[in-house]
Amino acid sequence: MRSLAEYMKLPYKMEVLPDVDEGGYIISFPDLPGCISCGETVEEAIVNAVDAKKAWLEAAIEEGKVINEPDRLEDYSGQFKLRIPKSLHKQLAEHSKKEGVSMNQYCVYLLSYNDALYNCN
C-alpha cells in the first residue's frame, strides 16, 4: 500500500459537472467511489475536491481498504477489432464517402457523438 502523500500525487481523473439543482459545481473522482465535493465556483469546487480526496484516501488507508490506481490512457492502444454485418459496412462506407472522410474517421465521429449523448443522461 502507498502512503497518503504518494496517493495524493497520482493523477486521478476529476469530473466537474454543473449542479443544476443547487447551483455551483460538483466534482467527483471516478476511480475513488463516493469521493465527491462541490463549490459555488469551479475554483472553489477544485479546492474542496482536493480536500475531499485527501480525507477519502486517509479513511481508506486507515480502514485498510483497497484503493484503485488511476485509470491511465497508456493502458489503451486505441484499437479494437469489430465485426459488423456486411450491410452495415456498406452503409458506413457510403456515408463516409458522401462526407468526404475515411470510414475510420466517420466511425470515430459516430462513436464520439453517441458516447457524448450517453454521458449527458
pLDDT at 121: 56
How high does pLDDT run on average in the chain? 91
Q: Which residue, 48, 58, 11, 55, is CA-closest to 27?
A: 48
pTM of the predicted structure, to 2 decimals: 0.63
Please name which of 81, 109, 80 lies closest in space to residue 95, comparing C-alpha atoms. 109
The whole-angstrom separation of Cα 64 and Cα 69 is: 15
Q: Residue 29: count other Cβ atoms within 10 Å of its Cβ.
A: 21
- Domains in the chain, number: 2
Which residue, 15, 37, 63, sits at the end of a domain? 63
Q: Which pLDDT score is estimated for 15?
A: 94
Q: 68 in a domain, yes or no? A: no
pLDDT > 90? residue 89? yes
Based on the fold, state whether residues 11 and 53 are members of the same structural domain: yes
Rounded to an integer, the average pLDDT of 94-115 is: 91
| Same structural domain, 42 and 89 | no
The rounded percent of the chain whose pLDDT value lies above 90 is 74
What is the DSSP track for 41-60? SHHHHHHHHHHHHHHHHHHH
Question: Domain containing 81: what range?
Answer: 77-120
> Are 109 and 59 in a shared domain?
no
